[in-house]
Amino acid sequence: MATLEKFSDIFDRAAERKGGAKALGLLMPQTLDADEIGQFTDAQLLSAMSKQVFQSGFVWRVVENKWPAYEEAFFNFEPFKVLMLSPDQIQERATDATLIRHQKKTQSIVDNAYMVQQLAAEHGSFAEFIANWPEDDITGLWQVLKKKGSRLGGNTGPYFLRTVGKDTFLLTNDVQSYLKANKVVDAGFTSQTALRQAQAAFNHWQQESGLSQAQISRIISLGVGDNRV
């Protein structure tokens, strides 16, 4: 691994760009502890996951406005009820004008309900599975979601985890640019090598700073490029 920049320098650069440490602090994402995450129901997590899948590459506001209709159409996202839908019923929902007409994303709700149910059976609940996953291997959790789930690759799985309060960094365009420019990562970001290198860097910065990985990635993004969060 390349010699990592001191996190204090990364922080100072972001603070300067955003109007000081106090102003920067107001932009930090919030995370939940394991007990708090463990309180989510499997239905709540399937809903949040499904919403993130639909928001990927789409106008988030439109998805948000339509989500009450999704809750009704998919039985409040109770996994066992979703899995009782017949192929014809799934097709009806994929072409319903009150929802979003997208066959593959609609099917992903069912596929991910199966994943949620399977992992819940193994770990007591899907929430417990997420809550107890070690944060120093968060990219490993990304890979489980991608492999076992549907349409959860790229940043979709990590954004879902961020939404439900799991501490995770995000490989946004600005964060990727920083990691590449500073030779922290020397492989494509879809590769296992790059994920291991990024994880090692974030683990190092977390030990150095005492901040969450979510906060660290937000600070990196605010200190470079377009200041995207």
**How far is 49 from 191, CA to CA, in rounded Å?**
23
Residue 94's domain comprises: 35-163
Instruction: Give the residue ranges of the chain where pLDDT is below 50.
Output: none
Residue 68 shares a structural domain with residue 105: yes
Per-residue model confidence (pLDDT) at position 1? 57
**CA 168 from centroid of its chain's CA atoms:** 7
Residues 132 and 159 placed together within one structural domain of the fold: yes
Tell me, yes or no, whether 132 lies in a domain.
yes
Query: pTM of whole model > 0.75?
Result: yes
pLDDT of residue 227: 63
Residues 151 and 182 in one domain: no
Three-class SS of residue 149?
A: coil
Per-residue pLDDT, 226: 67
Residue 166's Cβ-count burial label (10 Å; 0-12, 13-18, 19+) is buried
Residue 2 is predicted with a pLDDT of: 72
- The per-residue DSSP string of 71-104 comes to HHHTGGG-HHHHTT--HHHHHHHHT-TTS---HH
Please report whether residue 2 resides in a domain: no
Identify whether residues 124 and 190 lie together within a single domain.
Answer: no
Provide the pLDDT for residue 228.
52
Buried/exposed code over 180-209 (b: 16+ C-beta within 10 A; e: otherwise): eebebbeeebeeeebbbbbbbbbbebbeeb
- Domain containing residue 141: CATH number: 1.10.340.30
Tokens 């193994």 belong to which residue? Answer: 122
Which tokens is 90 given? 């799934």
- Give the list of residues 6+ apart from residue 180 with CB closer than 8 angstroms, or none: none
Residue 225 has what pLDDT?
Answer: 72
Contact status, residue 183 vs residue 71, Cβ threshold 8 Å: no
Residue 21 is given by DSSP the state H
